[in-house]
């Protein structure tokens, strides 16, 4: 008889714990509201950053006939920042949106096609350099795991980060872009020299 009373008391205790839903529901609702608030604040910050960068002109579109491809690769676009400031993300004109990307390098420039996000084109004259790096605005990889292309748009130097499906291709891109920028720098120097005479 005593054991029956003990079992009944234990069952009553367990039942009381399970049916005490009020504080649990309040805690879950509070947590959901906190997450929504944090998300909303992040969204507002993103919009504000876009407003601050509204002076950046529209991105150039790819030319109708870009010429023969020197290099072509696919991978991920990880975002763009102000050159030399790897945490100063640029969000204007969709440059802050991460996406898949297909890159094509021609004599006319760098064509970036992004399914699900805005494509953009960097004319050869606006390319400044390319290098291997380890991070850009919210994405950190192993040393040399990221291709960073520096270019200029609207008088603003920009770093854009890419990681190809085959990371071994990064080096060829660095060499090709840097050889293009070196040759355009030499052409500019020769033209300036000829004008000065």
DSSP string, 163-197: EESSGGGHHHHHHHHHHHHHHHHHHHHHHHHHHH-
Residue 122, both tokens: 């960097």
Query: What span, in angstroms and rounded, lies between the C-alpha atoms of 80 and 126?
Result: 15
CB 76 within 8 A of CB 102: no
What are 66-102's pLDDT values in tens digits?
Answer: 788 899 999 999 988 888 887 888 888 888 889 999 9
pLDDT band, very low/low/confident/very high, at 122 (cuts 50, 70, 90): very high
Does an H or E element contain 51, and which?
helix 22-52
Report the pLDDT value the prediction gives residue 72, as an integer from 0 to 100: 94
pLDDT in tens, 153-179: 988 899 999 999 998 899 999 999 999
Instruction: Please give the helix or strand (H or E) that residue 35 lies within, else none.
Output: helix 22-52
**pTM (2 d.p.):** 0.69
Contact indicator for 87, 139 with CB cutoff of 8 Å: no
Question: Please, how many CA atoms are within 13 Å of residue 147, restricted to the half-sphere of its CB?
Answer: 28
């Amino acid at each position: 008889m005593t054991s029956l009373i003990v079992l009944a008391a234990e069952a009553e205790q367990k039942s009381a714990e399970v049916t005490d839903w009020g504080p649990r529901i309040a805690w879950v609702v509070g947590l959901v509201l906190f997450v929504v608030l944090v998300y909303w604040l992040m969204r507002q910050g993103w919009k504000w950053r876009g407003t601050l960068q509204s002076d950046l002109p529209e991105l150039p579109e790819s030319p109708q006939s870009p010429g023969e491809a020197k290099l072509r690769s696919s991978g991920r676009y990880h975002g763009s920042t102000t050159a030399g400031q790897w945490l100063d993300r640029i969000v204007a004109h969709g440059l802050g949106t991460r996406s898949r990307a297909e890159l094509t390098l021609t004599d006319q420039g760098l064509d970036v096609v992004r399914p699900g996000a805005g494509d953009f084109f960097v004319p050869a004259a606006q390319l400044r350099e390319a290098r291997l790096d380890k991070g850009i605005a919210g994405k950190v990889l192993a040393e040399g795991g990221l291709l960073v292309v520096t270019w200029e748009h609207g008088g603003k130097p920009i770093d854009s980060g890419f990681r190809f499906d085959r990371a071994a291709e990064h080096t060829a891109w660095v060499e090709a872009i840097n050889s293009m920028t070196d040759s355009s720098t030499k052409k500019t120097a020769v033209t300036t020299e000829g004008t000065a005479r």
